Amino acid sequence: MVVKVHGPTFTAATRRVLACLIEKGIDYEIVPLDLLNRAHKDPEYLKLQPFGVVPVIEDGDFTLYESRAILRYYAEKYKSEGTELLGKTVEERGVVEQWLEVEGQNYHPPIDTLIVHLKVFPKMGVPADMKLVEESEEKLAKVLDIYEERLSKSKYLAGDFFSLADLSHLPATEYLVNDIGKDYMIRDRKHVSAWWDDISSRPSWKKVLQL
């Protein structure tokens, strides 16, 4: 059964899902969505995803949305296939959940603001709020200092194994490093930089960037 992924391949949340499906060796089909023409606010799309955001997946007659929920679903469903993304024990899974929550609650908000104001708004001809950009950069720097400390003791975020927690960071960090000129935030932190080089060189991520 092929999983249909509704969403443009360039958005962070869609890429997060695709990276997971590729790591687990799950067949997928991309159904592109034209965000510029507000396809995500179209009534037919809202039946699938009532909040009008991307992505949404259709797996037969089963629909799921929120990228981090999709991640957990497939990592659990295909636990014995592809890369193990949830750790091996209940305790390891707890630590994976912890860093996945850190990504969702502490990393995502400031980095998303930077991406929206420095990449998306210019494309739309909307002026960036530079005060908000500055505040978000400061917040993100504090979060990255904590990551630097963590990654000095542990190869990956949840331990010495790659997991959903690391994977979830790939899309936004890719934009930070290679698109909005803030790569210094990663490169100035030795362990964060090594971690970034490691996770972004995974074949799954390279594949996502080609889609």
Partner 1 sequence: MMKTTSYTLHFYIRSISSNILNFLFVVSSSIQFSLTMTLKVYGIGFSTCTARVLTCLNEKEVEYELVPVNLGVGEHKKPAFLAKQPFGQIPVLEDEDLTLFESRAITAYVSHKYKDNGVDLVRFGNIKEAGLVSVWIEVESQQYNPAITPIVSQLYIIPMRGGSTDHAAVEAAAEKFGKVLDVYEARLTTSKYLAGDFYSLADLTHLPYTYYLMKSEWASLINSRPHVKAWWEDISSRPAFTKVAENMTLAG
Q: Which of 168, 175, 159 is nearest to 199 (CA)?
A: 168
d(CA 127, CA 131): 12
Looking at the Cβ atoms of 32 and 50, the one nearer to partner 1 is 50
- By CB under 8 A, tell whether 54 contacts partner 1: no
Stretch of 102-110, 170-178, 182-190, 195-203 lying at the interface with partner 1 (CB under 8 A):
102-110
Do residues 136 and 58 touch, judged by C-beta distance below 8 A? Answer: no
d(CA 96, CA 100): 6
- By CB under 8 A, tell whether 69 contacts partner 1: yes
d(CA 14, CA 135): 27
Q: Which of 1, 4, 18 is nearest to 210 (CA)?
A: 18
**Count residues contacting partner 1 (CB under 8 A)?**
31
Out of 2, 126, 146, 211, which residue is the one contacting partner 1 (CB under 8 A)? 146
Q: Who contacts 78 (Cβ-Cβ below 8 Å, separation ≥6)? A: 24, 25, 26
- By CB under 8 A, tell whether 51 contacts partner 1: yes
As measured in angstroms, the least distance from the Cβ of 142 to partner 1 is: 9
As measured in angstroms, the least distance from the Cβ of 165 to partner 1 is: 10
Residues forming the site for partner 1 (CB under 8 A): 50-51, 62, 64-69, 72-73, 76-77, 90-91, 93-95, 97-98, 100-102, 104-106, 109, 143, 146, 149-150
